[in-house]
């Protein structure tokens, strides 16, 4: 496939790379010529995506990385250096969503949500940033419209995603001196397992989602992945510290 974005020579670590958005992002980055380290909680899922990239003629390695563990983030970033000779990109697609009433939310559940969404984002960025300071790079955090818009029963998710949007700005200005750009992509509902689980659990219906989104549909993983590809490419070379919302108009909508 010939692509406008040329990512030949780039090496990108994709965390949560076995998930809906992570896998699609990995495939599209590889199609642009990047070498991909696909990481996820389980090695099997990450390796399967890496194998499929290789079958399509791309270069990829699957590794296990729980982003809540700084040592595993370090190991995943180092695997990129050892396998492909460096690290120039990072995408964090890892995440969990477990809506729960705030009055009865167990402290452990709050802590786990913040650990995966916010602490893990920082540990991963730190491990990757340490390997980008000498030659620059670009990072993208997958946040959510919930970084801006409050949903009930999602206190930890919303607060953590808003935290990542601010982390994006802080790292962008702190690491600009090293030529490292840091941006975020915030989707509304995307047609992935996460949304299917939310619908199955009765937290929301597909009809509600479609009615609330001006463009009238859920996002495809490709909608999100293409925004990531752009932000990692040289076409976005003067864009840093930004959150790009891929939401079909969700955040713009303020009418009845």
Ligand X SMILES: NC(=O)c1ccc[n+]([C@@H]2O[C@H](COP(=O)([O-])OP(=O)(O)OC[C@H]3O[C@@H](n4cnc5c(N)ncnc54)[C@H](O)[C@@H]3O)[C@@H](O)[C@H]2O)c1
Any idea which residues carry the catalytic annotation?
157
Shortest spacing between CB 237 and ligand X, in angstroms: 25
Residues 75-94, interacting with ligand X (CB under 6 A): 93-94
Nearer to ligand X, 32 or 147 (CB): 147
Q: Is 195 in the site for ligand X (CB under 6 A)?
A: yes
Q: Please answer whether residues 65 and 77 qualify as being in contact, where contact means their C-beta atoms are separated by less than 8 angstroms.
A: no
Instruction: Check residue 95 for interaction with ligand X (CB under 6 A).
Output: yes
Q: Examine residue 21 and tell whether it contacts ligand X (CB under 6 A).
A: yes
Q: Of 36, 77, 79, 142, which one interacts with ligand X (CB under 6 A)?
A: 142
Residue 187 makes contact with ligand X by CB under 6 A: yes
Residues of span 110-139 touching ligand X by CB under 6 A = 116, 120
Q: Specify whether the CB–CB gap between 154 and 203 falls below 8 A.
A: no
d(CA 129, CA 90): 9
CA 125 – CA 77 distance, rounded (Å): 10
How many residues of this chain interact with ligand X, rule: CB under 6 A?
A: 29
Binding of residue 232 to ligand X (CB under 6 A): no
Q: Does 209 contact ligand X by CB under 6 A? A: no
What does the DSSP assignment read for 51-91?
A: HHHHHTT-EEEEEE--TT-HHHHHHHHHHHHHHHS---EEE
Which lies closer to ligand X via its Cβ, residue 129 or residue 248?
248
58 scored as a contact of ligand X (CB under 6 A): no
The answer to whether 184 and 163 have CB atoms below 8 angstroms apart is no
Binding test (CB under 6 A) with ligand X, winner from 66, 156, 160, 250: 66
**Taking CB under 6 A as the rule, does residue 38 contact ligand X?**
no
Nearer to ligand X, 5 or 66 (CB): 66
Among residues 67, 132, 147, 229, the one that binds ligand X under rule CB under 6 A: 67
- Gap between the Cα atoms of 31 and 6, Å rounded: 9
- Report the residue from 5, 13, 14, 22 that binds ligand X according to the rule CB under 6 A: 22
- What is the rounded CA–CA span in Å between residue 21 and residue 14? 10
With CB under 6 A as the contact rule, the residue among 7, 10, 11, 16 that binds ligand X is 16
Q: Are strands 180-187 and 243-246 parallel, antiparallel or unpaired?
A: parallel
Contact assessment for residue 62 and residue 46, using Cβ atoms and an 8 Å cutoff: yes
Strand pairing report for 59-64 and 89-92: unpaired
> Which two three-digit tokens encode residue 215?
């463009």
Residues of this chain that bind ligand X (CB under 6 A): 15-16, 18-22, 40-41, 65-68, 93-97, 116, 120, 142, 144, 187, 189-190, 192-195
């Amino acid at each position: 496939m010939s692509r406008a974005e040329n990512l030949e020579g780039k090496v990108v670590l994709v965390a949560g790379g076995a998930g809906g958005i992570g896998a699609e992002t990995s495939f599209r980055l590889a199609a642009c010529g990047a070498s991909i380290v696909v990481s996820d909680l389980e090695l099997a899922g990450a390796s399967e995506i890496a194998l499929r990239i290789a079958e399509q003629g791309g270069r990829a390695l699957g590794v296990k990385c729980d982003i809540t563990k700084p040592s595993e983030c370090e190991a995943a970033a180092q695997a990129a250096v050892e396998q492909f000779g460096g690290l120039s990109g990072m995408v964090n697609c890892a995440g969990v969503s477990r809506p729960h009433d705030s009055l009865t939310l167990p402290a452990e559940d709050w802590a786990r949500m913040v650990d995966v969404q916010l602490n893990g984002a920082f540990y991963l960025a730190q491990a990757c940033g340490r390997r980008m300071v000498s030659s620059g790079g670009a990072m993208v955090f997958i946040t959510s419209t919930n970084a801006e818009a409050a949903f009930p029963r999602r206190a930890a998710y919303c607060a953590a995603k808003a935290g990542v949007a601010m982390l994006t700005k802080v790292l962008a200005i702190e690491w600009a001196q090293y030529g490292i750009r840091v941006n975020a992509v915030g989707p509304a509902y995307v047609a992935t397992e996460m949304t299917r689980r939310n619908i199955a659990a009765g937290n929301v219906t597909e009809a509600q989602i479609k009615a609330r989104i001006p463009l009238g549909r859920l996002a495809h993983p490709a909608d999100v992945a293409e925004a990531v590809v752009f932000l990692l490419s040289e076409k976005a070379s003067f864009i840093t510290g930004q959150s790009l919302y891929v939401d079909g108009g969700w955040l713009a909508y303020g009418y009845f």
